[in-house]
Structure 1
Amino acid sequence: MDRRNTDENAKLGSYDEAEHWFVHLLESGCSADERAEFERWRAADPAHAAAYREIELLWRQSKEAVKNPAIVAAASRALRREPETRARRYWFLPAMAAGLAILVAVIVLPRWLGTSADPAGMTYTTTPGQQQTVALNDGSTIMLDTDTEVVVRYSARTRRVDLLHGQAQFTVQGNHAWPFVVHAQHGTVTAVGTQFQVRINDGCTDVALLKGKLAIATESPHGTPQNASLIGGQGLAYDETGRISPLHSIDLQMAGGWTQGKLFIHDWRLPDLLAEMNRYSATKLQIGDPSLQDIRISGIFRTNNQQVFLQLLQQGWPIHAKRLSATQIVLLRNR
């Protein structure tokens, strides 16, 4: 066998493996270990990655082609005819890309449509005080803040992430043909090549766009669906009725502070600051003197060091801390 035939067979082998992986990754029972094995296969050889990209392209083309009954019937007849040789199949590949797209649709689409609209997905969680960055298969990342849970459900149609509670920052690899959609309470946030944050807080969902563009849509049985769009440096909120607040400018340093383990605050009420700090610790802080309710605080505080935080409060304001138990500290006014 000459070198050209050897190269052709290697490419055919990569293409066949890519077909196998593409179908398997669409199945709801695909495990995390299997997805990790796929990533190792794709990274092992540039030919693997190229073959998989081609399968993805054919899949997108097939979703349109499969709508035509005549084309599907022709593809079905073609499937019943065995190719003469694997080499011939390869040499006809560039000229028959559309035909192969139809074959992919006939073989793969029924399996995909036979699964639920929302695959089982992969769940990621953090505990109080913990943060985690998740690298996704498409090059996007999710940074989970303290006490946060997300479910990632990738399919050929969409990249879906459900934020169940907490706060997360999403850095999205752009792909107009494969939208990245975050579902949070009664709304969705759709991104293409952006970096943004979504936070669920007492029935309200806050969205902050650090760069790029976003589309927000809400839907609630208790209200009227609404839509809005954001550009970098803007934010909004929507509630459980689906009502969207007016757009506002965001402080980029303050918005990004938690990703560095810091709170950048200006003129916050003490109860609000304590509520935010309590998210990062199992030991909860509470106000024991009503006269402290209206104290205003500005500064930069580490979220992962409650002891230093208490020292700063006691040095800068008329406050002293008293521990009541292993998980409870009360703040009192100095007399």
Structure 2
Amino acid sequence: MNMDRRQTNRDITLGSYDEAEHWFVRLLEPDCPAEQREAFERWRAADPEHAAAYREIQLLWKQSEDAIKDPAVMAAAKRALQPEPQVRARKRWFVPALAAGFAALLLAVALPRWLGAPADPAGTAYATVAGQEQTVTLADGSSILLDTDTKVVVRYSERTRRVDLLRGQAQFSVQGNHAWPFVVHAGAGTVTAVGTQFQVRLDDEVTDVALLKGKLAIAAQAPNGGTQDASLVGGQGLSYDANGQITPIHAVDMQQAHGWTSGQLFVHNWRLADLIAEMNRYSNTKLQLGDASLANIRVSGVFRTSDQQTLLLLLQQGWSIRAQRINGTQIQLLR
């Protein structure tokens, strides 16, 4: 049962399972250096998915250790690895022993593969600063459009195409290859595509996913190791939080989704506080509300993400809001 559940999860989070397997084998070595163990702890703490994958590898190992203590299991394993031509009479213990021995056989066959398999590459980082956008073309012809103040790490291997979104927002245009899945790791979950175009945004506690065309599979990991799954078709979106909870699927505002890729914000009845927070992502000069009563003013319009001054003029003319510069990087809004 655990084996089946692990395989199901592996289809979605293959990169994490592969990394967990490699770490487990390294830590089994008696002369594993302290810096390797420290690196492992950093890896495990970096993502709840890492910890969950490692727990499942530990569980599999524990089941195997228990199995190989049974002489009947070891005999079944030996016969499986070195079959004899004669047909033997079945004994009553053979079927359960073979089932239990499968975990032991897995170690006999799979551990050498884990030890000899090449590790995933360290990855290539791409990042933008406030007010900057960048398009990265990848080796397979896929591309990533990085929004302002965004960072990704790309790790391509023979098994998977992996991208870690560490902050910000990005649009992914993926070349299809069913045998080579494209997996974005963001927050507490993964987004798996074949050939499609989608956007992922990482905020403090919430990850937003918007699918422009194609299909996506999403898996969100809870701290206790549980997983919630969802799938999207073009024009749909969802969010998931740090606890692995996925929201109901909703229709994507396509105008807004396409807007930021051309430097525009399409604002429909936004709170002023939300508009200010979004505009601040694109500038080193930050706007702040000096009067709490301004927060819930409703604003609609189309704004250039690079044009903070026009926004200030519109606020002063339309809502009698006064802009007061505090210093070189802060502007306060008052009535």
Q: TM-score, normalised by structure 2?
A: 0.65
Whole-Å Cα distance in 2 between the matches of residues 285 and 112 of structure 1?
54
Question: Any idea what SS the aligned residue of 2:314 has?
Answer: helix
Which amino acid is 1:142 matched to?
I
CA distance in 2, matches of 1:273, 1:242: 27
The CA RMSD over aligned residues, in Å, is 1.9
Name 1:313's counterpart in structure 2. 315
Once residues 282 and 111 of structure 1 are traced to their aligned partners in structure 2, the CA distance between those partners, rounded to angstroms, is 47
Matched, 1:282 2:284: yes
Number of residue pairs aligned between Structure 1 and Structure 2: 226
Of 220, 231, 240, the match for 2:242: 240
Q: Alpha-carbon deviations, 1:208-227, whole Å to 9, x = none?
A: 00111000011132463100
Distance 1:112 1:180 in 2: 25
Q: Structure 1 residues 132, 112: CA separation in 2 closer, same or farther (over 3 Å shift)?
A: farther
Question: 1:63-78 alignment to 2 at 5 Å?
Answer: none
1:108-134 per-residue CA deviation (whole Å, 9 max, x = no partner) reads x97995432x32010000011111000
2:255 maps to amino acid: Q
Q: Are the equivalent residues in 2 in contact too, given 1:223–1:241 (CA < 8 A)?
A: no
Where does the alignment leave 5 or more consecutive residues of structure 2 unmatched? 1-80, 83-111
> Is 1:294 the equivalent of 2:290?
no
Equivalent residue, structure 2, for 1:326: 328
Aligned-partner Cα distance in 2 for 1:113–1:166: 36
CA displacement at 1:162 relative to structure 2: 0.4
Query: Counterpart of 1:217?
Result: 219
CA distance in 2, matches of 1:256, 1:224: 34
Specify the SS of the correspondent of 2:136. Answer: strand
Higher relative contact order structure (alpha carbons within 8 Å, sequence separation ≥ 6)? 2
Q: Counterparts of 1:158-307 in structure 2 under 5 Å?
A: 158-222=160-224, 224-307=226-309
Q: TM-score, normalised by structure 1?
A: 0.65
Deviations 1:257-292 (A, max 9, x none): 110001001010000100000011111000111221
Unpaired runs of at least 5, structure 1: 1-68, 71-108
C-alpha distance 113-289 of structure 1, shift in aligned 2 (>3 A) = same
Amino acid at match of 1:180: F
1:67-108 per-residue CA deviation (whole Å, 9 max, x = no partner) reads xx99xxxxxxxxxxxxxxxxxxxxxxxxxxxxxxxxxxxxxx
Alignment-derived partner of residue 123 in structure 2: 121
Summarize deviations over 1:285-318 as a string: whole Å, max 9, x none: 0011122122000000000111122112222222
Q: Percent identity among equivalent residues?
A: 67
Residue of structure 2 equivalent to 1:31: none
